[in-house]
């Protein structure tokens, strides 16, 4: 979303970005790009097309470099055994009237211990994705425009907070924190220390507190005193800039959380100013005004999630926080997803991640768990290239795009953004409680086992099946049985999968969805290989989904695998054909073989119900959100066990919106605070602020965002979706 007032250079860069059609950028896509007095975006150095010579930002003319050592070098890569040693800050020498000088911080990051090498925990493998991206990009997570890489320090800050919340990846988080300190002036003012935006400054304060770094001596700057100096008599934390004030509710919320956690507290005026931004219906507006919010049309889900967390941290505003949570709960889809506002009014990982944190902070456990369930359906698993594994997609359309690319899929800026914000909710840690204390040094990678013998003849891709494929032992994990019709493979999904699709993926099976109906399972481990997966499979050749108790009998699932929540100790069954049960009985608790079991003799079974002329369940009509076309089903608040919610939303998978526009202006804004402080919600076409862009990433087969077809073919389609 763009602010009402755009900096001159922001308009120029925004036009270039629109023409470049960078699809999927978040509302803060280019927040780190600041113009000089002439209106031309500048930085402290000329851009280079070489990734290893990336400058702090775009420039039209060469400018003096803040420091010859400011850019992270290859030697900054964190080791597995030690916390990086702090270096001097390049920004301290550039401190001017805009920044309150501070000392030299004694450390960056908290000493961490070694952790496991591999895991199937969605939180840990999500952290591994961010850790890899930080190291690979030398802790800049750049955006590429015109062949030139531009560092995005606001996104780096988001990644550090996500790693802290995940409790791992501290080797990378420590180096990233040091990088932020070294480039403080580059991030805040693009080399101009007199430019001090409130939102990014407040975000850095939160990073320093979470990392255990002295916030009064961060990169040669006292973040606490500088931020306090931005507070106006009204209580608003405003930008100190020659280009005007573009501060917003995101920055105000970050300021309240950061100052409170730093131990200095906030003024009654600052708290009251945030409360005034609450609209009559409980939501909060993104674009602050001294008069406050008077219309629900201005309410923004992302801003609401941030404001609720801030009010719960400072305390004394229980009623306002509760109303905000009610507003978010009313927007939550049956899948657990939460939409953004305006052009981002579709279910997405960024908005869901923020809302999930708010639900956690406010004790709304059912809604928080539903948000987690949605996010896990957007996380890349073993069926996708290693570079993507663990990342979280922006939405199911973005996930499907990567799945369609297959081995050619590569990570995107949008993937990094949606993972950073989605991981916060997956980790179950609100912003007010994020800390690196007790975290591990390095995140484990996703455990994708080697091929199992004898599966190639069955048409299954052995590489996606665990080497120790077998039924789970005892009452832990979910046993998964996959029957192609000629061979049966049994595997164990460890832990407590949140959906049948996640159980399938955690057990090591790759999933391919129908291109035109994301959520419908077309192939498991590339079987059947002859199906192009463009349209919904016929009723005589599809993957039927069953579940059962250990040692019990199969029951055809009337709830799709994307929404069904299997309990630990149970069995999930998949059979390719016309709806028959798997040809083996659900393994009993004592079944603990060490290798995949292959069954060649089919057993007599009873076929599943034949397609009826009308659907058993009537799909809910699509819901229009904030003026957009059908964005989902009628909002429903998940019950105590959100896993039992309806199987999917009633609309086709939404694509990222065209841009993140402001109140009336559709122009993208390259100001760091023009939108939710570095971009919580990715938008589709032209990025609008320095910290966001395209992407989104599902780990399993994007479950609930599917269109249910009513009428004669409705039941057939619905019963075959994943």
Rounded average pLDDT over 670-691: 36
* Range of weakest confidence among 196-200, 385-389, 549-553: 549-553
Helix (H) or strand (E) holding 349: helix 349-361
Which of helix, strand or coil describes residue 481?
strand
Q: Which two tokens stand for residue 434?
A: 């994020």
- Which residues lie below 8 Å from residue 65, measured CB to CB, with a gap of 6+? 44, 45
Q: Which two tokens stand for residue 107?
A: 């450390």
Task: Return the pLDDT at 339.
Answer: 98
Q: CA–CA separation, 532 vs 250, rounded Å?
A: 44
Q: What is the pLDDT of residues 246-279, one digit of tens each?
A: 999 999 999 999 999 999 999 999 999 999 999 9
Q: Given the DSSP bridges, would you call strands 445-446 and 118-119 parallel, antiparallel or unpaired?
A: parallel
* Range of weakest confidence among 282-291, 359-368, 535-544, 559-568: 535-544
Rounded average pLDDT over 385-389: 96
Which residue ranges make up each domain of the chain?
Answer: 447-577
Q: Which two tokens stand for residue 489?
A: 């493979």
pLDDT at residue 607 tops 70: no
Q: What is the pLDDT of residues 520-550, one digit of tens each?
A: 788 897 788 666 776 667 766 888 899 899 8
Is domain 447-577 annotated with CATH 2.170.130.30? yes
Task: Return the pLDDT at 502.
Answer: 82
Phi, psi of 598 (to 5 degrees): -115, 125
Supply the DSSP symbol for 427.
T
Q: CA–CA separation, 467 vs 463, rounded Å?
A: 9
Q: Is 371 exposed, middle or buried (0-12, 13-18, 19+ CB in 10 A)?
A: buried
Rounded average pLDDT over 418-427: 96
In the chain, what is the greatest distance between 2 CA atoms, to the nearest angstrom?
A: 82
Could you give the percent of the chain with pLDDT greater than 70? 62
Residues 152, 155, 159: CA angle, nearest 5 degrees: 135
Q: What is the pLDDT of residues 610-666, one digit of tens each?
A: 333 333 333 333 333 333 333 333 333 333 333 333 333 333 333 333 333 333 333
Rounded average pLDDT over 13-38: 33
Q: CA–CA separation, 682 vs 345, rounded Å?
A: 11
pLDDT at residue 421 tops 90: yes
Which of helix, strand or coil describes residue 541?
coil
Phi, psi of 208 (to 5 degrees): -60, -45
HEC secondary structure over 135-157: HHCCCCCCEEECCEEECCHHHHH
Rounded average pLDDT over 99-119: 72
Phi, psi of 721 (to 5 degrees): -80, 160
Task: Return the pLDDT at 653.
Answer: 35
Q: CA–CA separation, 519 vs 720, rounded Å?
A: 10
Q: What is the pLDDT of residues 490-521, one digit of tens each?
A: 989 888 888 888 888 888 888 887 766 666 78
Residue of 142 and 626 predicted with greater confidence: 142
């Amino acid at each position: 979303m763009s602010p009402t007032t755009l900096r001159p250079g922001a308009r120029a860069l925004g036009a270039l970005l629109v023409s470049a059609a960078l699809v999927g950028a978040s509302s803060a896509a280019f927040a780190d790009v600041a113009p000089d007095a002439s209106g031309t975006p500048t930085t402290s150095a000329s851009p280079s097309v070489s990734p290893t010579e990336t400058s702090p930002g775009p420039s039209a003319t060469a400018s003096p470099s803040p420091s010859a050592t400011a850019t992270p070098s290859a030697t900054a890569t964190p080791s597995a055994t030690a916390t990086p040693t702090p270096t001097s800050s390049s920004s301290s020498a550039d401190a001017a009237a805009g920044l309150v000088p501070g000392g030299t911080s004694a450390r960056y990051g908290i000493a961490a211990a070694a952790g496991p090498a591999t895991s199937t925990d969605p939180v840990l493998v999500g952290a591994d994705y961010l850790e890899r991206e930080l190291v690979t990009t030398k802790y800049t997570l750049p955006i590429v425009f015109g062949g030139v890489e531009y560092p995005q320090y606001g996104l780096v800050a988001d990644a550090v907070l996500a790693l802290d919340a995940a409790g791992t990846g501290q080797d990378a988080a420590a180096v990233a924190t040091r990088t932020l300190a070294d480039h403080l002036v580059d991030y805040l003012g693009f080399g101009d220390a007199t430019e001090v935006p409130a939102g990014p400054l407040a975000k850095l304060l939160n990073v320093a507190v979470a990392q255990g770094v002295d916030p009064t001596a961060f990169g040669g700057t006292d973040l606490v005193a500088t931020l306090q100096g931005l507070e106006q008599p009204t209580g608003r934390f405003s930008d100190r800039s020659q280009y005007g004030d573009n501060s917003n509710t995101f920055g105000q919320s970050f300021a309240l959380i950061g100052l409170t956690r730093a131990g200095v507290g906030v003024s009654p005026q600052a708290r009251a100013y945030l409360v005034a931004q609450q609209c009559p219906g409980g939501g909060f507006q993104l674009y602050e005004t001294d008069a406050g919010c008077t219309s629900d049309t201005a309410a923004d889900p992302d801003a609401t999630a941030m404001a609720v967390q801030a009010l719960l941290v400072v305390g004394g505003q229980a009623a306002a926080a509760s109303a905000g949570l009610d507003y978010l709960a009313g927007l939550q889809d049956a899948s657990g997803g939460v939409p953004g506002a305006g052009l981002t009014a579709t279910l997405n990982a960024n908005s869901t991640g923020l809302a999930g944190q708010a639900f956690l902070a406010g004790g709304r456990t059912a809604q928080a768990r539903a948000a987690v369930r949605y996010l896990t359906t957007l996380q890349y698993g073993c069926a996708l290239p290693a570079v993507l594994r663990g990342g979280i997609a922006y939405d199911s359309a973005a996930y499907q795009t990567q799945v369609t690319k297959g081995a050619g899929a590569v990570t995107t800026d949008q993937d990094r953004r949606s993972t950073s914000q989605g991981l916060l909710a997956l980790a179950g840690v609100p912003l007010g409680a994020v800390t690196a204390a007790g975290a591990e040094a390095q995140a484990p990678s996703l455990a994708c086992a080697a091929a199992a013998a004898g599966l190639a003849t069955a048409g299954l891709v052995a590489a996606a099946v665990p080497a120790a494929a077998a039924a789970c032992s005892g009452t832990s994990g979910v046993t998964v049985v996959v029957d192609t019709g000629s061979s049966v493979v049994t595997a164990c999904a460890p832990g407590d999968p949140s959906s049948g699709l996640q159980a399938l993926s955690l057990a090591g099976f790759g999933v391919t969805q129908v291109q035109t109906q994301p959520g419908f399972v077309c192939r498991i481990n590339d079987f059947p290989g002859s199906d192009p997966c463009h349209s919904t499979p016929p009723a005589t050749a599809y993957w039927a989904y069953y579940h059962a108790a250990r040692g019990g009998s199969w029951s055809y699932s009337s709830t799709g695998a994307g929404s069904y929540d299997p309990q630990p100790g149970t069995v999930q069954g998949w059979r390719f054909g016309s709806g028959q049960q798997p040809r083996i009985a659900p393994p009993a608790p004592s079944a603990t073989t060490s290798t995949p079991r292959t069954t060649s003799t089919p057993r007599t079974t009873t076929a599943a119900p034949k397609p009826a002329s009308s659907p058993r369940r009537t799909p809910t009509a699509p819901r229009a959100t904030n003026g957009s076309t059908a964005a989902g089903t009628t909002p429903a608040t998940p019950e105590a066990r959100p896993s039992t919610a309806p199987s999917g939303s009633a609309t086709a998978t939404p694509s990222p919106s065209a841009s993140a526009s402001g109140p009336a202006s559709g122009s993208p804004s390259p100001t760091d605070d023009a939108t939710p402080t570095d971009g919580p919600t990715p938008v589709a076409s032209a990025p609008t602020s320095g910290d966001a862009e395209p992407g989104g990433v599902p780990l399993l087969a994007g479950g609930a965002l599917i269109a249910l077809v009513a009428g004669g073919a409705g039941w057939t389609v619905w019963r075959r979706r994943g």
